[in-house]
Structure 1
Amino acid sequence: MPRFSVIVTAYNVQAYLTDCLRSVLTQTYDDLELIVVDDCSPDGCGAVADEFAAHEQRVTAVHLRENSGLGPARNAGLARATGDYVVFLDGDGTFVPGALQSLADRLKETGGPDVLVYDFDRTYWSGETVRNTFAAPLAEDGPASFQLSDRPNLLTYLITASNKAYRREFVERQGLTFPSGHHTDTAWTYPVLMTAESITTLDRVCTHHQQRRPGLSPTDRGHMDLFDQYDRVFAFVDERPALDRWRPVLHRRMLDHLAALVATDGPVSRGSRAEFFRRARAHHRRYRAPGAAGRSRSRRGHRLLRLGAHRTHHVLRTSRLLRERSGRVAATLLRAVRSGVLRLHYAVQRRLPVRADHAVFAAFGHRGYTSDPAAIERKVRELAPRLRTAWISHAAHQHSVPIGTRRLRPGTFAYWTAIARAKYLVSNADFDRRLVKRRRQILLQTHYGTPLRSPDIELPDRPEAAGDTDAGRLLADADRWDYSLSANRHSTLVQEKAYPSAGTTLEYGHPRNDIFQRATAGDVARLRRSLGIPEGFTAVLYAPANRDYRHSPHQPLDLERVVQSLGPRFVLLSRARHAYGTQVPYPPHPRVLDVSGHPSTETLCLASDALITDFSSLMFDYANLDRPIVVHCDDQEAAEAAQGTYFDLRSCPPGPVTHTQEELIDTFALGHWRGSRSARLRTAFRARFCPYDDGRAAERVVRHVFLGEQGGVPLPLPQEERSPAPPAP
């Protein structure tokens, strides 16, 4: 008897079915049977199911003689299930790596409940993946298992059958089956939750739900079936008097459900709304119960449904759309007027004298006080206190700007005044394209990091990664640079070729890395405590690079499996790149800490004991700490072909190189990640790419650019005389 029976129904999903079945069969937890139900699909779904069944004994292919719909197809799978727990998966959905292992662990922790509810995300045809936004009922605090009466807000969660694991004995004992029709999940989920004696939750994304393109979804007539499904739900309650207390809740949820459908444009067309409202009114009158009043935010929608007032609904909806359209027009006009006034203001400010004692700083995306510009700004306040500094950032990040530094928001009058009149402008990204550089202004470009992959300006012949890159604009920006900061000879050669300009290259090192030479053991311990790293644990920072040629996040590792394989005294710090946002798609193991939103990369480096990365320039910074680095590239050829690299990382790596998850785990298990060969590779890498990162890079920049002391710039310390911050004991 397997632990899980995974039932996949397939109808007109031949393009997705192979990926769906592979996502099941490649799970690290393999105590399962896979039942594929071909609902007499007219495409190749049946052939795909047979092919998998022929090569994998865990797969059973079931072919229905006629198309019967989702509900009966699932019932056909249930009739053949032998597992302890049953899990449903749509033929165009997929399991997240490690999903079944997470389900098995949670079921074991909670004593084998009747139902386990977990989370999902939506995957769109464009490749974008968005996690469900209504996951609050899945919080794992409180009792490990409970009944619906202990957490009735589960009924507000999405009514779907494919985000739950069901104990098969419970399903059979209650005689639960799927009805026919379009909204079969409604008549299945409510009875399941109401009759389950024990329920538990898992606050983790376990499945991807495929979202079809607009126009490919079922027609509005399919939503009329919703009334029949609620008839079945209330009939189920009629047969079980003990469930009668749920009538008010079900009535309210029914009205919520119906109101949500008519509130959007697609599901119920204008031609069928009159019928929809008539049926909604009849259902309200038939099933209303004391205590079923709607919440304040939905009360008007409930009232319209109860009255069957489709014309009033249409008038109110039209009025709302007109107000929104008028608001958008007014906002557009206001933006145009404000833009014109700002342009005039900037033109006036450019005719006023340049302020020799003002300096303006910014970092990539105006996200906050960070990177090389921040390190230079700190050193300016120390060595040149006569200068008045300002930092440009969005409002959400202005709290990161230190006291004593003026805060500027991009696009404001103060912003345009500052960049029009400040003598010094410093950034690690493109300057505002509307900036008109004045003769006495000095622009310092610090760049983002040591280049391993081709910079944006060299991507026009690589359309997969180029996106909307404007090479002409990048060159025009480079023409305004007075100084270009470089960390090493490699960076100098790449930058001068990629961005030919009349500016002076300052090969001084990365100021942001000064902290690696200045931090103490006490600083490291404090930073580790702030991140929640337990004392005595080995912290490994996992920081992969963006995959610019992909629309969705690249997930090469099952972080839960990796951290379990490394051992009980390891912690993984997972840092997702900014291009995909700060939200981690799958909140994993308790020893996997999501640090994607942490504002300081330097803090994460200091707090960790080792780094796992791929094509990220972070490896060049991390090498200054002289701590182990493992390069994990599972798609090296694809990444190199899409964006290109300046040298073969395999010829000069900072540590061991792995290509599969198993190789990575073995590298740690066998100790190669911190062995003698790893140390030799790291030493050679540091000598090549970190010659100036001695803790005084910011001082060199400030003395040259801001103080004009070219002759007083300190020489870099030899590698053997440097003392990087010690790792945690």
Structure 2
Amino acid sequence: MPRFSVIVPAYKVQAYLSECLDSVLSQSYPDLEVIAVDDCSPDACGAIIDEYAARDTRVKPVHLAENQGLGRARNAGMAEASGDYLVFLDSDDTLTPDALRAVADRIKDSGEPDVLVYDYARTYWDGRTVRNQLSTQLTEEGPAPFRLADRPGLLRVLMVAWNKAYRREFVEAQGFAFPPGYYEDTPWTFPVLMTAESIATLDRVCVHYRQRRQGNILGTTSRRHFDLFEQYDRVFAFVDEHPELAAWRPELFRRMIDHYAVVFTKRGRLPRGSHGDFLRLARAHYLRHRVPGPRGGLRYTLVRHGLHRTFRALRLAAAVRRRAGRAAVKLARALRGRALRLHYRVQLRLPLRADRAVFTAAFGRGDPGALEEAFRTYAPHVRTAWIGHPEQQQAVPPGPRRLRPGSAACWTALARSKYLVHDTVLDRGLRKRRGQVVVQTRRGTPLKHTGLDLQERPAAACDTDFGELLREVDRWDHVLSGNRHSTLTWERVLPGRYTTLEHGAPRNDVLQRATTADVTRLRDSLGIPEGAVAILYAPTFRDHHRTQRPALDLERILRRLGPRFVVLARPHPAHGGSLGSGGRIIDVGGHPDVASLCLASDALLTDYSSIMFDYANLDRPIVVHTADLEAYEAVRGTYFDLRACPPGAVARTEDELIDIFATGHWRGSRSAQLRAAFRERFCPYDDGRAAERVVRRVVLGETELPPVIPLAERKPVPSACARSPLATVPQPSAPAPVTESH
């Protein structure tokens, strides 16, 4: 008997069915059967189902002689099910990776509940993924399992069959079945939740709910939406048959009226001329099922009295107000913009302030943050300010004055400060004054193509205006560089009259100054267990992917490696979202300081991110995952062969990666040799005094700068794993296999 029976009804979904079935059959939890129901589909759905059944014995095909609709097709699937739990999946949707394993674990942990409710995310044809806005209702905090009366907020979550797992014996004992109709989920889900003796929740996206451009039932204009009235009659009939559920009538009534209002107001659902009929039927149902107490404002009043024309008038008035409001906001913004431009022109005529410096960074603090601290230390006569949005304030250093982008104070600082330090692109409206000094710090050592080299890489260039880029370069007085490779690259791909300061990367100074106490404090703040091996996973952005999906299954990797390992998951800032969280995966995507994450970790796992050049300064193990290197090089281009000059062990596949960590090759002697050569090439000046050298050169005008500490004499703080006797990680004496370097 399988653990899960996944029921997939199919009708006119030949373009999506294979992806749906693949998402189930590729689950890491294999104890399942797939009951694929061909609802007499006129396209190739039936043939696709038979092909999958021939390849995988877990697929059980069911062919209906005539089209019966989604509800009855699900019933036909249930009749064939033998699993402990029923899982429904619409044939244009997909299960997320490891969803069934997470469901199985939660079912076991919560005592085999009658129903487990899990989360979903809408996926759009343009690549967007949006999580359920009511996901807070699925928190796993508190006792589990529970009854609906303990968590009535679950009735606010989308009332569909496919975001739940049902204990089959419970469903059969209660005789639940889907009725025919357009809204068959309604008289299934409400009775199931109200009747269940035990319910649990799983706060994890397990289903990707496809929002099709066309063909989606809820997006179809049809009088079939009138089916909603019959389905709610079924819900209240069920309550009438079960007097013990009478207490739920007020909540069901509220849900019914809200549902009617949504269908009525949603553009494109009801055909032209049918709105009056719909509202009259809604009023009849209001009177038929009303209960004392619930009143819900305008929606309830309109439905109660059937005020179709009144509703249309109010909606028209609201639309007029919205248009007027948008016009007023647009006018106010235009007037404010003109006022700010005038203010900036006035400030440009005032004297430049030699004791002022302005800093800004695209992500976090970076080099500008390190330089701002050095300004206050070595040039205390210069007052500093930091430009950043309010949501970025966590990343702003504590010392400087804070300025909001686009504010009058910000434009004043840009117009009158002598020093402008940044790693991004300045506003087009900015005019560099005579006497101003612009320091461009860049953002790391370049591995991937950048600047003018992107002219041959249109997918990566993303409509870059190269003329505007060169005008920006012409503003720069100094560009920072951490090594000869960076110097030669910047001067070729970003040609200008600036001076390259090859003094090291200021952002890496902290990596040389940190102490053992700092490492302990940072690990405690991140919740890293004592004695654990913490892997910082920091992948880069992929220009050839519309959506940035994780390249590695972190949960699988950690299961294979065992409980001693944890992962600090850090997506590229351009990714958005998360690489995972929970258990031994610690989501650090929102952490404001990458250097702190480097110090807290014991090893770095990356692909083509420039973080590897910074991390090498710690002289800690680095593992590079290069599964799609050929595709990445074809789209973005790289300045050297990463496999020929790696900072450590190289894995082409996920299994190779697991083997590198499991066998200890990640910190073996061969990896140390590769890292030493990498550091010698790319970290010659990062001795902890790079920011000081820049300030002394640019601000104080000194030419005799502090000498660079040789690599052999630098003593970066060791990782916690290297110091802890609890972390017994194998360390091979022999070189790693062929996966280490090529």
1:78 aligns with 2:81: no
2:322 aligns to what? 324
Give the Cα–Cα distance (whole angstroms) in 2 for the partners of residues 21 and 571 of structure 1. 32
The structural deviation recorded for 1:621 is: 0.6
> C-alpha offsets along residues 225-254 of structure 1, whole Å, 9 cap, x if unaligned?
111111111111122222122111111111
User: Per-residue CA shift, 1:304-345, capped at 9, x if unaligned?
Assistant: 111111111111111111111101111111111111111111
CA distance in 2, matches of 1:703, 1:158: 61
Aligned pairs for 1:551-562 (under 5 A) are 551-562=546-557
Alignment-derived partner of residue 2 in structure 1: 2
Cα distance, 1:223 vs. partner? 2.1
Q: Which amino acid aligns with 1:665?
A: I
1:607 aligned residue: 600
Distance across 1 between alignment mates of 2:44 and 2:413: 64
Counterpart CA distance in 2 for 1:152 and 1:561 is: 35
2: distance between equivalents of 1:456 and 1:88? Answer: 50
Contact 1:128 1:551 in 2 (8 A): no
Q: Give 1:462 shift.
A: 2.6
1:640 maps to what in 2?
633
Secondary structure, aligned partner of 2:448: coil
d(CA) in 2 for partners of 1:597 and 1:268?
43
Q: Distance in 1 between matches of 2:67 and 2:462?
A: 44
Does residue 525 in structure 1 map to residue 520 in structure 2?
yes
| 3-state SS in 1 of match to 2:429 | coil
Q: 1:84 to 1:399 in 2, by over 3 A?
A: closer
Secondary structure of the corresponding residue to residue 210 of structure 1: strand
Structure 1 pair 486/222, CA: closer, same or farther in 2 (3 Å)?
farther
SS in structure 2 opposite 1:580? Answer: coil
Correspondence for 2:575: 580
Q: Aligned residue pairs: how many?
A: 719
Please give the alpha-carbon distance, in whole angstroms, between the structure 1 residues aligned to 2:651 and 2:237.
Answer: 59
Separation (CA, whole Å) in 1 of partners of 2:271 and 2:571: 41
Residues 113 and 167 in structure 1, CA contact (< 8 A), matched pair in contact too: yes
Cα distance, 1:208 vs. partner?
0.6
User: Secondary structure of the residue that 1:390 maps to in structure 2?
Assistant: strand
Instruction: Tell me the residue number matched to 2:735.
Output: none
Q: For residue 626 of structure 2, what is the amino acid of its counterpart?
A: C
Are positions 1:415 and 2:410 aligned together?
yes
**1:72 is matched by which residue type in structure 2?**
R
Find the counterpart in structure 1 of residue 126 from structure 2: 126
Residue equivalent to 1:358: 356
Q: Match for residue 663 of structure 1?
A: 656
In 2, the alpha carbon distance for the partners of 1:589 and 1:83 equals 28
Letter of the 1:719 counterpart? L
Moved more, 329-338 or 214-223: 214-223
- How far is the alpha carbon of 1:261 from its aligned partner? 2.9
Deviates more, 1:252-261 or 1:397-406: 397-406
- 2:369 corresponds to which residue? 374
Matching residue's letter, 1:252? R
Aligned position for 1:287: 289
User: What's the CA shift for 1:264?
Assistant: 3.5
Unpaired runs of 5+ in structure 1? Answer: none
Counterparts of residues 250-265 of structure 1 (less than 5 Å): 250-265=252-267
Contact 2:451–2:494 under 8 Å retained in 1 = no
Matched-pair contact (CA < 8 Å) for 1:20–1:94: yes
CA distance in 1, matches of 2:53, 2:398: 66
Quick one: which amino acid aligns to residue 631 of structure 2?
A: A
1:232 is the counterpart of 2:239: no
Partner of 2:313: 315
**Equivalent residue number for residue 538 of structure 2:** 543
Q: How far apart, in 1, do the equivalents of 2:69 and 2:270 lie?
A: 21
Say if 2:509 and 2:691, in contact at 8 Å, map to a contact too: yes
CA drift of 1:634 comes to 2.5
* Change in 2 beyond 3 A, CA 1:457/1:169: farther
**Residues 220 and 268 of structure 2 are in contact (CA less than 8 Å); yes or no, is this contact kept in structure 1?**
no
AA aligned to 1:345 is H
Does residue 459 of the first structure (1) align with residue 454 of the second (2)?
yes
Q: Which residue does 1:391 correspond to in 2? A: 386
Alpha-carbon offset, residue 84 of structure 1: 0.6
Contact kept, 8 Å, 1:457 with 1:470, in 2: the verdict is no
User: What does residue range 497-508 of structure 1 map to in structure 2 within 5 Å?
Assistant: 497-508=492-503
Q: In structure 2, give the amino acid aligned to 1:584.
A: S
Match of 2:707 in 1: 715
For 2:697, which of 683, 695, 704 is the aligned residue? 704
| Alignment match, 1:348 | 346
CA-based RMSD of the aligned residues comes to 1.5
Q: Which segment drifts farther, 636-645 or 480-489?
A: 636-645
**Distance in 2 (alpha carbons) for counterparts of 1:541 and 1:661:** 16
Per-residue deviation at 1:167?
0.8
Residue 437 of structure 2 is aligned to residue 430 of structure 1 = no
- Whichever residue aligns with residue 604 of structure 1, its letter is L
Task: Give the secondary-structure state (helix, strand or coil) at the position aligned to 2:9.
Answer: strand
Correspondence 1:108-127 to 2 at 5 A: 108-127=108-127
Equivalent position SS for 1:119: strand
How far, CA to CA, are the matches of 1:496 and 1:42 in structure 2? Answer: 62
Q: How far is 1:424 from its partner?
A: 0.7
Distance 1:512 1:286 in 2: 69
> Distance in 1 between the 2:673 and 2:149 partners?
62
* Residue pairs, 1:122-201, within 5 angstroms: 122-201=122-201
Q: What is the aligned partner in structure 2 of residue 107 from structure 1?
A: 107
Q: Per the alignment, in what secondary structure is the counterpart of residue 604 of structure 2?
A: strand
**Is the 1:456–1:469 Cα contact (8 Å) retained in structure 2?**
no
Q: Which amino acid aligns with 1:185?
A: D
* Equivalence for 2:470: 475
Distance 1:630 1:402, change over 3 A: closer
Please list, as runs of the form range in 1=range in 2, the aligned pairs for 1:237-252 lying within 5 A after superposition.
237-252=239-254
Please give the per-residue CA displacement for 1:105-133, whole angstroms capped at 9, x wherever unaligned. Answer: 11111111111110011110011111111
The alpha-carbon deviation at position 511 of structure 1 amounts to 0.4
Q: Deviation at 1:270?
A: 5.2
For the residues of structure 2 that align with 1:59 and 1:214, how far apart are their CA atoms? 29
Structure 1 CA distance for aligned equivalents of residues 252 and 458 of structure 2: 52
The one-character-per-residue Cα deviations of 1:666-694 (angstroms, maximum 9, x if unpaired) are 21111111111111111111111111111
Counterpart in the other structure of 2:21 = 21
Q: How far apart, in 1, do the equivalents of 2:291 and 2:557 lie?
A: 52
- 2:719 counterpart (693, 718, 727): 727
Where structure 2 has 5 or more consecutive residues not aligned to the other structure, the ranges are 725-742
**Percent identity among equivalent residues?**
61
Distance 1:333 1:215, change over 3 A: farther
Q: Which amino acid aligns with 1:705?
A: V
Question: 1:401 Cα deviation (Å)?
Answer: 3.2
Q: Trace 1:675-690 onto structure 2 (pairs within 5 A).
A: 675-690=668-683
1:62 aligned residue: 62
Q: Is the 8 A contact 1:93 1:209 kept in 2?
A: yes
Native 8 Å contact 1:624 1:724 kept in 2: yes
Cα distance in 2 for partners of 1:713, 1:269 equals 78
Confirm or deny that 1:624 pairs with 2:617.
yes
Report if aligned partners of 1:117, 1:202 keep a CA contact under 8 Å in 2. yes
**Offset from partner CA, 1:332-385 (integer Å, 9 cap, x none):** 111111111111111121122211111111001xx55x0000000000000000
Deviation at 1:7, TM superposition (A): 1.0
Q: What amino acid sits opposite 2:89 in the alignment?
A: L
TM-score by length of 2: 0.95
Shift, 1:215, TM fit: 7.5
